[in-house]
Amino acid sequence: CSIVSGEAESYKIAEQGKAIAVLDINPISKGHTLIIPKEHTEKISKTMQNFAEKIAKKIKEKLKPKEILISQATLFKHLIINIIPVYKNETLNSARYKAEPEELKEIQEKF
C-alpha cells in the first residue's frame, strides 16, 4: 500500500488504470518487476494480466533476457504479479540480491 500511495520509495516504470509496475528492490535478476494493484484484490483481472504481459514484452526488448517468467504471489497481503527476466537459469526460488539505487535508476530510465 505504501508503494502505491507513494509513501515508500520505489522505482516505477509504468502505470495503467488500477495497477503500477515497479522494479523489485531485492530482485532475482536485473529488471525483476512487480505489478501491484492499487487496491487489495483476491483475483488478478484480465486487464492486470494484459498489463503484465505488456511490461514483460518491454523488458524483453530493453534488457534482452532469454525468457521471462510471470507468476502471481502475495506480498504484504497484496496479490501481485512477478515478472522475472531469465538470463541464465533463474527461477522463482533463485537467490535474491539487494539492488543498488544506481542499478534501479539505470533500468528505470530505459523505460
pTM of the prediction?
0.88
pLDDT given for residue 7 in this prediction? 62
pLDDT given for residue 74 in this prediction? 80
> Which backbone phi and psi does 81 adopt, to 5 degrees?
-120, 130
The DSSP secondary structure of the chain, one letter per residue, reads -HHHHT-S---EEEEETTEEEEE-SS-SSTT-EEEEESS--SS--HHHHHHHHHHHHHHHHHH--SEEEEEEEEETTEEEEEEEEESSS--TTSPP----HHHHHHHHHH-
pLDDT given for residue 8 in this prediction? 62
Question: How many other C-beta atoms can be found within 10 angstroms of the C-beta atom of residue 52?
Answer: 25
Q: What is the mean pLDDT of each run of 10 residues along the chain (111 residues)?
A: 61 88 94 87 84 96 96 79 96 94 93 88
38 in Cβ contact with 46 (< 8 Å): no
